[in-house]
Amino acid sequence: VCKIIDSGDDSLGWRGLAARIVPSWMEVRRTERLEAIGKSPTRELIWSWAQQNKTVGDLVNVLEDMGHYRALQLFIPQETQYSFPNSGPSKSSRDNPSPPQSPASPPPDSESTQPGWNQSNYHVSGEGRNHRLVITYSDVIEGTRHFHQDMKISEGSFSAVYRAVKGNETFAVKLFKQVLTLPLHTVLHL
């Protein structure tokens, strides 16, 4: 969670979290100083907040209030299909209308990138239509037509950008070029 929120900007970053959980601006200033020396501002905020006997459920409520659905995904068990607010009821949310109970600790970051993790049921509503929060690898392959040249937007020294289409959604995909790895003695002889 800390890495996700630390990398966010504005309302989805640590300052957005601070606006909801810190009691005074002095705490925000202290967190800024800690960030300046290389500490995670989110970790420091959550630690300080946890000392007030807050729970993981409280953190989930704050993340929902922030609209930080990416961070919320870390707290939702894999087998639970949970629709985020404003997305209309799903079959599983009609059967169990309350949000899932939060685990005592979040799953490791690697779980969110495992191929077997089904994120296809996580939706948010915006402008009258549902948007998927996560684009899967198969979406990228299908959307770019296996990185076909006709889908290429631009190319640089380190990467190429492709246009991808999934349904009525268009998105960009950056494909980094692979680096040729040679043994050191081969490089020295060149």
- The reply to whether 72 and 1 lie within a common domain is yes
The secondary structure of residue 147, as a DSSP letter, is T
| Token pair 């989930």: residue | 60
Predicted confidence at residue 148, as pLDDT, reads 92
Predicted confidence at residue 126, as pLDDT, reads 39
Q: Tell whether 107 is covered by a domain.
A: no
- State the residue range of the domain holding 145: 137-176
Q: Tell whether 164 is covered by a domain.
A: yes
Q: Do 63 and 72 meet the contact criterion of CB atoms below 8 Å apart?
A: yes
Predicted confidence at residue 184, as pLDDT, reads 57
What span, in angstroms and rounded, lies between the C-alpha atoms of 1 and 43? 9
Predicted confidence at residue 10, as pLDDT, reads 66
Predicted confidence at residue 166, as pLDDT, reads 84
Predicted confidence at residue 183, as pLDDT, reads 64
Residue 63 CA, distance from chain mean position: 12
Q: pLDDT (tens digit, 0 to 9) for every residue of the chain, 190 residues total?
A: 788 887 877 667 888 888 888 888 888 888 888 888 888 888 888 888 888 878 888 888 888 888 878 888 887 765 554 555 544 444 443 344 444 443 333 444 443 433 333 434 334 333 434 444 567 888 889 999 999 999 998 888 888 889 888 887 888 888 888 776 666 565 555 5
- Overall number of domains in the chain: 2
Q: Tell whether 33 is covered by a domain.
A: yes
| Torsion 169-172-176-177 (CA) sign | positive
Domain end point (choices 32, 51, 77): 77
